[in-house]
Amino acid sequence: MSDYVSKPINNQGLVDWSREEDQIWHDLVSRQLSLVNDSACKEYLRGLELLDLPVDRVPQLPEINRVLQRETGWAVEPVPALINFDRFFSLLADKKFPVATFLRSREEFDYLQEPDFFHEIFGHCAMLTNPEFARFTQTYGQLGRDADSKERVYLARLYWFTVEFGLVKEGEDFKIYGGGILSSPGETVYALNDQRPVREIFDIHTVLRTPYRIDIMQPAYFYLNNIEQLYQLSQEDLMSHVHRAMKAGLLSPLFEPKEKQHA
C-alpha cells in the first residue's frame, strides 16, 4: 500500500502544487541536473531539452503533453499513487504514460520505492520524445495487456532492465537511458562508476530470466549498442522469447534474499 495520495487535477488538467512541493521539485531537479549531463545518453538529453522543464516550480501535465504529443504522439496520464497491471499495460498500449501526481516528502528525499512525480517526469518523459523508445514502450504495453499473469512476471523483467535500469553504449562509454537510474543521484553514480555491478550486453533471453529487487542498488545492468535496438526488439516476436524463458526458468539471483539481508 502507498503512503502517498495523488493530488487532484482540476478541469484544466492542472495540479495545485504547494510552495513546499515547488521547493522539493527545485531541489530534486537541481541536484540531478548536475549529474545527468555527463551520465545520460544523447537521446535523453535531447528530450530533456525539448521538455524544457521548469526548475523553480513543479511542471504541469499539459506542458509535458504539448511536447510529447508533438514529438511521438504520447501523453502523460494522471493516476492514483498505485494502479493495477491491467490499467498500467492498457495505458502504455494507448500511448499514455501513467504519472502519479504526488511528490516525495523531505524525509524520503533520497530514496523512494514507489514512483513519484519526479521519477515519472524527470526520469522517463525525456525518453518518450524518442520515436524508437516510444514505439518499444507502446509495444510492451500491448503485449502486457494481452498476457496472462505468469507471462507478465517475465515481461516485468524486460521493462525493469530497459525502461527503468537500462544502459547504452556511446563510443567506449556507458550512458544511462533508464528512468529508475536517472531519477536517483546515488544510482546514477553507482551504475556507471562503481566496480561492484555486472554490466552485460543486452540479451533478451538472459534479461527475461534475471531476478531483481526494487529496494537495493542493482547488481546487474544490461546495455544496448544503440537505442535503435529497442525499436528492433519491438518488431520481434517477444512473446516467443517470454515462453522460451518460462521453460528455461530463472537464473540464480545476484543478491541475497531480503530476509537474510535483514537477519
pLDDT at residue 1 above 70? Answer: no
Residue 5 lies in a domain: no
HSE toward the beta carbon, residue 29, CA cutoff 13 A:
21
Number of domains in the chain: 1
232: containing domain: 19-261
Classify 199 as helix, strand or coil: strand
Which residues lie across from 98 on neighbouring strands? 77
pLDDT digits (tens, 9 = 90+) for 194-247: 999 999 999 999 999 999 999 999 999 999 999 999 999 999 999 999 999 999
26 is in an annotated binding site: no
Residue 7 lies in a domain: no
164 is in an annotated binding site: yes
pLDDT digits (tens, 9 = 90+) for 119-167: 999 999 999 999 999 999 999 999 999 999 999 999 999 999 999 999 9
Residue 1 lies in a domain: no
119 is in an annotated binding site: yes
Residue 8 lies in a domain: no
Q: Output the pTM of the full model.
A: 0.94
Indicate which CATH number applies to the domain containing 56: 1.10.800.10
